[in-house]
């Protein structure tokens, strides 16, 4: 079907696709299949080939190349991949999203569903670039879902554009929509050989013009405190309250290494989930550093904190487990400079002044790059991901569509001119 990126986006965000961190199924929530099945139908409706949804919730499809026989780039252009994820973060509700299409005229935005939720210019200076333009917010009771349904809409609209304008030259393009990126499992069953692309790009960034070639390296730490519970009326000398020990751990985490006190290349240690009662409490902590060896320093810091608190609460049992999540894509992008050069030139041709910016996040692209599929990241126009104040610049989304359309053409030119 022919539709604008905005029309697609508004349709997609109304479908609840929130993933679940502790689930063992694939996808982690069955409701993600509602959107994945819709995308299968839409891809087939556009006339794409090899459209398939596998048992793990990965949708793949092919846009065949259109270079005629004898074209100097035919057979030399690598198959390009375009990837976005359908799930939304467990950090805020994704149910009954009510997108608000706003002709923005400046100032703070109080959201209609909960007037305590305000998108403030002081926290969102990019709003000033959108005066007189259209933006989209949620009603303030849910997240919006621009992360990453904007990316899905961008890819679908770019594909529609290429098919509608066969004079735009491109090689073979592979599309993939993944589930469960927000819980770190989006590429767990991603078969790179089956995908068949030699280079790919995730469309999962934020501010227009920002391109990402480096991400955090990431680990997760889980601290478990075991205590002993008994009725508080007869607890003297018997109860061992795990929450008290966990509180002492929390206050010892470094405040100068937190998301709310760091930016740019600065690392952080981020406690983000706490569950518990007297007998047992569990704290999940995100460890992030652009310099991968820095994660070992963070581990040592946590070990020291655990040892100190264990001594203060000898009747508890405190455990620390650290698991690897992903690594900085910059360390694995390889020596083919075209991967980044083509993206930069495409954004420039789309009318932007591109900038390379480290992304303080990133899962699918980092993991795929580490596994051998170079996968830098493209902006979507979204802001304030994972929160009730999430919003989307429609012009930014449209610029991303233009960047993707230019990208496949720049690759043809690069390969045409190559020796």
Q: What residues are annotated to the active site?
A: 87, 181
Contacts of 248 (CB under 8 A, 6+ apart): 309, 312, 313
Provide the CB-side half-sphere exposure for 212 (13 A, CA).
32
Does residue 9 contact residue 39 with C-beta atoms inside 8 Å? no
- Taking Cα atoms as reference points, which of 286, 272, 281, 220 lies closest to residue 248? 281
- Taking Cα atoms as reference points, which of 89, 211, 84, 210 lies closest to residue 145? 89
What is the DSSP code (8-state) at residue 133?
S
CB neighbours of residue 396 within 10 Å: 28
CB neighbours of residue 286 within 10 Å: 18
Does residue 333 contact residue 374 with C-beta atoms inside 8 Å? yes
- Taking Cα atoms as reference points, which of 58, 36, 39, 57 lies closest to residue 48? 39
Does residue 48 contact residue 175 with C-beta atoms inside 8 Å? yes
Burial (CB count within 10 angstroms: exposed 0-12, middle 13-18, buried 19+), residue 348: middle
CB neighbours of residue 207 within 10 Å: 16
Does residue 410 contact residue 338 with C-beta atoms inside 8 Å? no
- Taking Cα atoms as reference points, which of 238, 253, 326 lies closest to residue 283? 253
- Taking Cα atoms as reference points, which of 10, 46, 18 lies closest to residue 159? 46
- Taking Cα atoms as reference points, which of 215, 240, 396, 354 lies closest to residue 290? 215
Distance CA 120, CA 102 (A): 15
The three-point CA angle 35-329-413 to 5° equals 80
Distance CA 5, CA 107 (A): 26
Phi and psi at 217, nearest 5°, equal: -90, 145
């Amino acid at each position: 079907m022919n539709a604008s990126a905005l029309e697609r986006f508004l349709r997609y965000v109304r479908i609840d696709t929130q993933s679940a961190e502790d689930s063992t199924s694939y996808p982690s929530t069955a409701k993600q299949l509602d959107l994945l099945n819709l995308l299968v139908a839409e891809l087939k409706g556009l006339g794409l080939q090899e459209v398939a949804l596998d048992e793990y919730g990965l949708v793949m499809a092919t846009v065949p190349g259109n270079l005629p026989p004898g074209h100097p780039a035919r057979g030399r252009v690598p198959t390009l991949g375009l990837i976005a994820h359908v799930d939304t973060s467990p950090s805020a509700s994704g149910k009954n999203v009510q997108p608000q299409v706003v002709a923005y005229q400046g100032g703070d935005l109080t959201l209609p569903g909960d007037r305590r939720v305000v998108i403030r210019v002081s926290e969102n200076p990019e709003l000033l670039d959108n005066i007189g333009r259209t933006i989209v917010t949620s009603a303030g009771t849910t997240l919006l879902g621009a992360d990453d349904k904007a990316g899905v809409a961008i890819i679908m609209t770019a594909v529609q554009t290429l098919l509608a304008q066969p004079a735009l030259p491109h090689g073979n393009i592979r599309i993939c929509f993944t589930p469960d990126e927000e819980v770190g499992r989006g590429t767990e069953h991603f078969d790179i050989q089956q995908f068949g692309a030699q280079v790919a790009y995730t469309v999962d960034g934020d501010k227009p013009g920002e391109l990402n070639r480096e991400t955090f390296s990431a680990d997760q730490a889980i601290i478990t405190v075991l205590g002993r519970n008994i009725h508080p009326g007869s607890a003297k000398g018997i109860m061992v309250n795990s929450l008290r020990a966990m509180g002492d751990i929390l206050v010892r985490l470094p405040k100068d290494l937190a998301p709310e006190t760091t930016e740019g290349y600065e690392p952080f240690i981020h406690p983000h989930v706490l569950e518990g009662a007297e007998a047992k409490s569990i704290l999940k902590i995100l460890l992030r550093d652009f310099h991968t060896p820095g994660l070992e320093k963070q581990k040592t810091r946590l070990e020291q904190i655990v040892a100190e608190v264990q001594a203060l609460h000898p009747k508890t049992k405190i455990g620390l487990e650290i698991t690897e999540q992903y690594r900085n894509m910059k360390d694995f992008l390889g020596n083919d400079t075209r991967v980044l050069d083509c993206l930069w030139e495409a954004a420039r041709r789309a009318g932007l002044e591109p900038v390379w910016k480290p992304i303080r996040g990133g899962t699918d692209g980092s993991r795929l790059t580490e596994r051998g599929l170079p996968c830098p990241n493209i902006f979507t126009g979204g802001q304030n991901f994972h929160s009730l104040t999430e919003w989307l610049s429609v012009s930014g989304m449209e610029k991303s569509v233009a960047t993707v359309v230019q990208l496949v053409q720049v690759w043809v030119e690069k390969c045409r001119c190559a020796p």
